[in-house]
């Protein structure tokens, strides 16, 4: 339990959580979201995770894990993505991340222009990872987590190059997909995978 002084230090208006997801564009792997409640002042250097080098992301992720009031992960699986569509799966992952925070927020700041279905007071902020430290922190935690998971998938499904492209539809990934076929971690509702599955010779 945090002392009352620590609670007040987080925000004069209450406990603010930032939430962001990573993995809407890839052809493979889960979509991963993170929610973070930061202490005040936040760690220096927080921004959109894509604007940072892998080393910077890893360093900041470790700082966030150690110094935040709390943080949590949520995800939607490949099968949920295929069932729901990627937008709804992303919102589900974000909802799961916030709901599993060990300290529940009074306000949630969500990156983007859509809000999950929940009872939290919330604001959607386009490019919020650039302007809101808590969203930037969430984007870093989510990306570091998902990238490490894609490296593990690379060892389980060699040849696709998951460690390099993290599932995104690069030329190398599309070529590997055409040569090797569809793996269990590919999103079958995504157009390049769907087209490949529609070909008679692909099972």
Q: What is the pLDDT of residue 9?
A: 37
Q: What is the pLDDT of residue 14?
A: 76
Q: Residue 201 falls within a domain, yes or no?
A: no
Q: Residue 56 falls within a domain, yes or no?
A: yes
Banded model confidence at residue 147, pLDDT cuts 50, 70, 90: very high
Q: What is the pLDDT of residue 199?
A: 81
Banded model confidence at residue 47, pLDDT cuts 50, 70, 90: confident
Q: Residue 154 falls within a domain, yes or no?
A: no
Q: Residue 176 falls within a domain, yes or no?
A: no
Banded model confidence at residue 156, pLDDT cuts 50, 70, 90: very high
Q: Residue 181 falls within a domain, yes or no?
A: no
Q: Residue 118 falls within a domain, yes or no?
A: yes
Nearest to 27 by CA among 199, 195, 145, 198: 195
Give the max Cα distance, the chain. 65
Banded model confidence at residue 162, pLDDT cuts 50, 70, 90: very high
Q: What is the pLDDT of residue 201?
A: 61
What the block records as the tokens of 7 is: 């609670």
Residue 6 has pLDDT above 70, yes or no: no
Q: Report the number of distinct structural domains present in the chain.
A: 1
- Mean pLDDT on 60-86: 98
Average pLDDT, the chain: 92
Q: Which residues form the domain of 44?
A: 4-148
The string of pLDDT tens digits covering residues 80-125 is 999 999 999 999 999 999 999 999 999 999 999 999 999 999 999 9
Q: Residue 153 falls within a domain, yes or no?
A: no
Q: Residue 179 falls within a domain, yes or no?
A: no
Q: What is the pLDDT of residue 80?
A: 98
CATH number of domain containing 70: 3.30.420.10
């Amino acid at each position: 339990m945090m002392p009352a002084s620590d609670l007040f230090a987080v925000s004069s208006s209450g406990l603010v959580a930032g939430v962001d997801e990573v993995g809407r564009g890839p052809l493979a792997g889960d979509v991963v979201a993170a929610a973070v409640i930061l202490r005040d002042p936040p760690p220096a250097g927080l921004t959109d995770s894509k604007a940072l080098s892998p080393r910077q992301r890893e360093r900041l992720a470790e700082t966030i894990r150690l110094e935040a009031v709390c943080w949590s992960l949520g995800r939607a699986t490949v099968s949920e993505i295929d069932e729901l569509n990627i937008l709804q799966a992303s919102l589900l992952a974000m909802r799961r991340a916030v709901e599993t925070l060990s300290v529940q927020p009074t306000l949630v700041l969500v990156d983007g222009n859509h809000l999950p279905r929940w009872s939290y007071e919330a604001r959607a902020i386009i490019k919020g990872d650039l302007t809101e430290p808590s969203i930037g922190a969430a984007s870093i935690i989510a990306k570091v987590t998902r990238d490490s998971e894609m490296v593990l998938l690379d060892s389980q499904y060699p040849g696709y190059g998951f460690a390099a492209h993290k599932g995104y539809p690069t030329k190398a990934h599309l070529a590997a997909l055409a040569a090797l076929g569809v793996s269990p971690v590919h999103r079958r509702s995504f157009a390049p995978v769907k087209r490949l599955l529609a070909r008679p010779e692909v099972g």
